[in-house]
Structure 1
Amino acid sequence: MDEIREYWLQLNDRHGSPPSAAADEMEKILAQYSAPGRYYHNTRHLSDLLTLQQQYAPLIVDNDSLLFAIYYHDLVYKATRHDNEEKSAQEALQFLKKIGYPKEKQQKVHAFIMATHGHQNPLADPDLDYFLDFDLHILGASPALYNAYTQQIRKEYSLYPAYFYKKGRRRVLKHFLGQTGIYRTAAFREKYEKKARENMEREIEML
C-alpha cells in the first residue's frame, strides 16, 4: 500500500496536481481495488504492474501516461459487466482533465485502458505493448502462482455455475493460445511465452 501511494503522489506532483486532490483520488483508487470480491484484480495486481513498470521504465517512452493507465485500468471491475474497461477509462479521463494533464496524453491513457479489453494494440504504440504484457504477466508465472491465479479468477466469477464458467474460460484460453504470440514485446516473449502456453494448456486439460 505504501508503495502504491508513494508512486501515485510522486506521479501527481510531477504534473502539478493539488496534493489534496491527489490524496483524495488515491483513497478512491485504493477503495476500488480493495472492494469485496476482488480476489485477483486487487491492490496486489496493481502493485505487480507498478513493479513491472519500474523494472522496464528505461524501455518505455512515456512512463507517466503508462502509470496513469496502470492505476486506472481495473478501477471498475465486476464479473457481470461488459463495460469495465470503458468505465475505468472514463474515470481516468475525468481525473486527468481535472488536473490539466495534456489532452493528447489524456486520450493516450484512455486508449491504453480500452486496449486491455481485447489485448490488441491498434495504436501500434510500443509503450502499449509493454502495458498489455504487464497485464498478462501472470500467465507466464510458475505453476504454483498460476494455479493460485486461476483459483482467484474462479472466485471472482463465483456467480456463474461451473458449466458456464468452464465454457467461457476455455474460450478465453483458446483465444490466447491461438495467437502467434501471447506477448507483444521481445523481452516478455523470451521470458514468459513458453511457460504461459504450458500453463494455459494444462488449465484447459483440467477444466
Structure 2
Amino acid sequence: MRLQERFTHQCLTFINDPQLIGNLWTEIHEKYAEKGRHYHNLQHLQALFSELDAVKDRISDFSTITFSVFYHDVIYEATSKANEEKSAELAVLRLQKLNIHQDIINKVSEQIIATKSHLRSGDQDTNYLLDADLSVLGKDRETYLDYTRKIRKEYAVYPDFLYRPGRKKVLQHFSKLESIFKTDEFREKYENQARENIKWEIQNL
C-alpha cells in the first residue's frame, strides 16, 4: 500500500475531512523529503511498514503504531539531540486535529520517544516498532553498507574525527544490549547478522 493511501485510510477512521487529511499528509511528505535526508526519508517509512505488515497479526493496535511510524522521524536534524521529543510534540498537535482519543495520542507519543534509546518496553507493540526501526542493522552486508553511507551523508556537517567516535558510541550501545531485538520474530530473523554488521562497522570506522 502506498504511504499516502495508508495515511489517508488511517485518518478516515477518525474524521471525514479530506482537506485536513491532505494537509497533514503534505506536511509529512515535505518533512521526510527534506534536503539532507538520505536515510530517514519516505523509503525508511516504507521499509518499516513492510516489516510491520509481516507481523501484523502479532500487533494489538496497528492503528496506533501506524501513526507512530509516520511521525517518529518527522523532525530530524543531525545536529539536534531532541528529534524524538520534537517529533512526538508535533504528532500530538496534529493527531488532536483528527479528534483521536487522547489515550491513543499519548501512546503514539510514548512510542515515538521510545525510539530514542531503543530499550525494551513493557508494551509489546512498542517493541515491534523498535525492532522494525532497527531491522536495517540485520540486513545483508551490501544493504547495511548502503545504510551506513546514507547515515554518514546525513551527518556530513561533522568531520570524521567527530563523527567516528559518535557513531562508534551508538554502535557500542547496541552491541552491549542483551538482545538488540526485543521480539522473537525479529530476534530470530536479524539478531546474529546485526551483531556481525555492527562489529564489522566498528572495526572499519
In the superposition, the TM-score normalised over structure 1's length comes to 0.97
Match of 2:146 in 1: 148
Structure 1 stretches of 4+ moved >6 Å: none
1:36, CA displacement in angstroms?
0.2
**Residue 90 in 1 paired to residue 89 in 2?**
yes
How far has the Cα of 1:194 moved from its partner? Answer: 0.1
C-alpha distance 17-96 of structure 1, shift in aligned 2 (>3 A):
farther
1:33-72 deviations in Å (ceiling 9; x for gaps): 0000000000100111122222211110000000000000
- Secondary structure of 2:168's match? helix
TM-score by length of structure 2 reads: 0.98
Report the AA paired with residue 201 of structure 2.
Answer: E
What does 1:38-187 correspond to in 2, within 5 Å? 38-122=37-121, 124-187=122-185
**Which residue identity does 1:180 align to in structure 2?**
E
- Gaps (5+ residues) in structure 1? none
Q: Deviations over 1:97-155 (max 9, x none)?
A: 11111111110000000111101245x10000000000000000000000000000000
Q: How many equivalent residue pairs? A: 205
Would you say the 8 A contact 1:130–1:184 is kept in 2?
yes
SS in 1 for 2:38: coil
Distance in 2 of aligned mates of 1:199 and 1:62: 32
CA gap 1:17/1:94 in 2 versus in 1, 3 angstroms: farther
Is the CA contact (8 Å cut-off) linking 1:138 and 1:149 kept in structure 2? yes
**Aligned partners of 2:74, 2:198: CA distance in 1, in Å?**
26
Per the TM alignment, residue 17 of structure 1 is displaced from its structure 2 partner at its CA by 4.3
Letter matched to residue 45 of structure 2: L
Q: Percent identity?
A: 38
1:28 aligns with 2:27: yes
Once residues 52 and 201 of structure 2 are traced to their aligned partners in structure 1, the CA distance between those partners, rounded to angstroms, is: 28
Shift of the 126–49 alpha-carbon distance from structure 1 to 2, 3 Å rule, reads same
Q: For residues 71 and 130 of structure 1, what CA distance do their matches in structure 2 show?
A: 15
SS in structure 2 at match of 1:75 = coil
Provide the C-alpha distance between the structure 2 equivalents of 1:90 and 1:142, rounded to a whole number of angstroms: 35
Contact 1:53 1:67 in 2 (8 A): no
Distance in 2 (alpha carbons) for counterparts of 1:17 and 1:121? 36
